[in-house]
Amino acid sequence: MYKAIHIATLIVLLLNTIGALAGGLLLMYAPDGSLLAMPLHYLQHTPFSNFFIPGIILFTCNGLTGIVTTLYTFAKRGRYAGMVFAQGTVLCGWILSQVLLLHTVYFLHIVMAATGFFLVLAAIALYSKQNKSGTRNPTVLFLSLLMAALIIVVSLTGLTDSEFYSVESTGWKLQAIGQDFIDLLLVTPALLVTAILAFYQKRGALSFWAGVVLYLAYTFVIYCFDVHFNRLFLAYCLLLGLSFYCCLYYLYNSITVPFKITVRSKVNAATGMYFMFIGCLFYLLWLSEILPATITGIIPLSLQQAGLYTNPVHVLDIAILLPALSITGVLLLKNNSAAKAIVIPLLFFFVLMDITIGFLSWYMALKNNESAGPAPVIMGALAVVSTGFLIFNVPGHSAVHEVNHIAPQQAS
């Protein structure tokens, strides 16, 4: 399998490099795009008046670097897997930049984006072969770098393009912009830090990383289903898919390479009761808005202000998150080992989500020249409490008096 992946990677790199070199040269030789049948009106939304500079970028960043990467991969020299990953990321970034600047998507964009994504996945497989000692976790780092790049593009587009959310209602537009701030300034750093620590297999880091990708899955379900179709729709879908499968990866890893964690029973019980308290609290909060509207037949005010058919947060919480939270709380009271594997991800998810809700409440009130009320304070307090429970459940704390890594063969 490794040999087949290596050969396929070489072929893809070679074809991509030849195409980038030829395309770059043709664009530089004929900046009007005539040799590639590319009219200049493609550039009307870009800072370029012709294709000369894009040709230089294509020739250099995809062509010349492609030559080096292909040669290193052919010779299997040094950290060639990392170079393949970088080449795939550059290609994905190049295509995404074109889509954003051109305000349209062509079939070739899809083909080249798929090529870049293949190189990223191939790099993970190749690095795994290089990393025979098993002291690194490249899967988490490589996928997180790809997600971070996409999040940065998505967030900066929403924050810098004043017309990007123009079709949304005023309230929903403010929430989207506020979420872009959170994604860029809080979630992306959290994703990268936890991924780097997980790459070096620091104790408990993978669990924190799982909390971040769970947050991303939750967030981009909303982007995919409740933000009007725009030129970043494919990026939303890709981020949702990546974060969802990263959550599955964590669960798979927890099953195949489990940790034996012995936490004091009082901590287990307290955490379980806290989970059930949060579940009941938000059930009551959401139902206090939904039940009166159901009885009277009047759409809730918050839904009218958002301009949505249904509230995606209500759907996700009532149908999935809150039941999972309550079940986990009950299992923790029973000292269930499976529940312990998702305690840290859920608690870190709470911390991020509490901060998000508090910030959005404050941000929307600020933009509407209104009082934010008690929401930011309450969510801040919940974030502090969740952080406290998180600390008491982290491997290495005095309440966690035994943490042993169990090899797959021992676990079986």
Backbone φ and ψ for 404, nearest 5 degrees, come out as -125, 130
Q: Nearest-5° angle of CA 202, CA 205, CA 206?
A: 115
Per residue in 297-322, pLDDT (tens digit) is 888 877 887 888 889 999 999 999 99
Backbone φ and ψ for 104, nearest 5 degrees, come out as -160, 165
pLDDT for residue 225: 94
pLDDT for residue 327: 94
The owner of tokens 């992946």 is: 5
Mean pLDDT of all residues in 178-207: 90
Please check whether residue 82 lies inside any domain of the structure. yes
- Report d(CA 293, CA 285) in Å as an integer: 13
Please check whether residue 159 lies inside any domain of the structure. no
Q: Nearest-5° angle of CA 291, CA 295, CA 299?
A: 75
Checking phi first, is residue 340 left (phi over 0); if not, alpha (psi -120 to 50) or beta?
alpha
Does pLDDT of 412 surpass 70? no
Mean pLDDT of all residues in 58-63: 90
- C-beta of residue 330 within 8 angstroms of C-beta of residue 195: no
Inter-axis angle of helices 2-29 and 107-130, to 10 degrees? 140
- C-beta of residue 96 within 8 angstroms of C-beta of residue 235: yes
The owner of tokens 């890594």 is: 405
- CA 288 from chain centre, in angstroms, equals 32
Mean pLDDT of all residues in 24-49: 87
- C-beta of residue 122 within 8 angstroms of C-beta of residue 8: yes
Q: What is the 3-state secondary structure (H, E, C) of 140-164?
A: HHHHHHHHHHHHHHHHHHHHHCCCC
Lowest mean pLDDT among 48-57, 129-138, 396-405: 396-405
- Report d(CA 142, CA 133) in Å as an integer: 18
Lowest mean pLDDT among 15-29, 144-158, 319-333: 144-158
Please check whether residue 394 lies inside any domain of the structure. no
Backbone φ and ψ for 42, nearest 5 degrees, come out as -60, -25
Per residue in 110-139, pLDDT (tens digit) is 888 888 888 888 887 787 666 655 567 778
Query: What are the beta bridge partners of residue 262?
Result: 402
Q: Report how many domains make up the chain.
A: 1
Does pLDDT of 395 surpass 70? no
pLDDT for residue 409: 39
Please check whether residue 86 lies inside any domain of the structure. yes
- Element spanning 404, H or E: strand 400-405
Does pLDDT of 265 surpass 50? yes
pLDDT for residue 222: 96
| C-alpha gyration radius of the chain | 24
Query: What are the beta bridge partners of residue 403?
Result: 261
What range does the domain containing 47 cover? 1-130
- CA 267 from chain centre, in angstroms, equals 30
Please check whether residue 138 lies inside any domain of the structure. no
- C-beta of residue 405 within 8 angstroms of C-beta of residue 256: no
Please check whether residue 170 lies inside any domain of the structure. no
Residues with Cβ within 8 Å of 299's Cβ and at least 6 positions away in sequence, in order, are 293
Please check whether residue 160 lies inside any domain of the structure. no
Please check whether residue 59 lies inside any domain of the structure. yes
Confidence of residue 263 (pLDDT cuts 50, 70, 90): low
DSSP type of residue 334: T
Confidence of residue 99 (pLDDT cuts 50, 70, 90): confident
- Report d(CA 122, CA 243) in Å as an integer: 19
Does pLDDT of 401 surpass 80? no
Higher pLDDT, 395 or 83: 83
- Report d(CA 118, CA 35) in Å as an integer: 29
By three-state DSSP, how is residue 289 classified? helix
Q: Which amino acid is at 317?
A: D
Query: What's the token pair of residue 56?
Result: 């230089």
